[in-house]
Amino acid sequence: MRPATRAARGLSLLAVVVIALSGCAGGQPQPREYGEVNTKNEGYYGNFMLGCTGVEANSDGEYVDVKYQSEEFCTCVFEKMKATVPFDTAKEFEEAQADTPEGTEITIPKSIQTAMDDCTPGSAEG
């Protein structure tokens, strides 16, 4: 693990995901697995995309006027995490962030950092 110091890449996206997951928790069961990419704002993907883009998919399944990261970047990170990061690791990271005061430097697990790096424009895959 290494400290989060790459603000230029929008690494705060995972902190935003935690906020989104916290906000979506009201009365709905928390996801227990990554699930599938969908355009219905459902499951972990729906929560992740809300936190990553800052908006929910519209009725056409499109993310319009995103506030944070692009739909393409967010979907890429989701797919990389699903393929390489155990869901429990993602959940533990989210829970740890939820307890971290705002403005505090967080440590991103290497596997999650790698997924984000792979999707960053200019990387070999991004």
- Read off the pLDDT of residues 66-105 as tens digits, 9 standing for 90 and up: 999 999 999 999 999 999 999 999 988 887 877 888 888 8
State how far the Cα of 56 lies from the Cα of 53, in Å rounded to an integer: 8
- In the prediction, which pLDDT does 7 show? 40
- In the prediction, which pLDDT does 90 show? 92
Is residue 125 assigned to a domain? no
For residue 22, what are the CA distances in angstroms to 31, 65, 74, 95, 104? Answer: 12, 22, 18, 10, 18
Is residue 37 assigned to a domain? yes
Q: Which domain holds residue 43?
A: 2-119
Is residue 124 assigned to a domain? no
pLDDT band at 10 (very low <50, low <70, confident <90, very high): very low
pLDDT band at 17 (very low <50, low <70, confident <90, very high): low
Overall number of domains in the chain: 1
- In the prediction, which pLDDT does 123 show? 66
Mean pLDDT of 11-37: 63
Strand 2-3 relative to strand 107-108, pairing = antiparallel
Is residue 126 assigned to a domain? no
Quick: pLDDT tens for 32-73.
999 999 989 999 999 889 988 999 999 999 999 999 999 999
> What global pTM score does this model have?
0.75
